[in-house]
Structure 1
Amino acid sequence: MLREFNGEFHGNGRPDELYSKLIRNGAVMHMKNTCTAAARDVKIRSPGWAVEAAARMGSGAG
Structure 2
Amino acid sequence: MSALLTPEQVSDLLGVKTQTLAQWRWRKTGPKFQKVGRLVRYSPEDVDQWLHEGGVAS
Q: Same fold (TM over 0.5)?
A: no
Question: Larger RCO: Structure 1 or Structure 2 (Cα < 8 Å, ≥ 6 residues apart)?
Answer: 2
Per the normalisation by structure 1, the TM-score is 0.26
Q: Which has the higher helix share?
A: 1
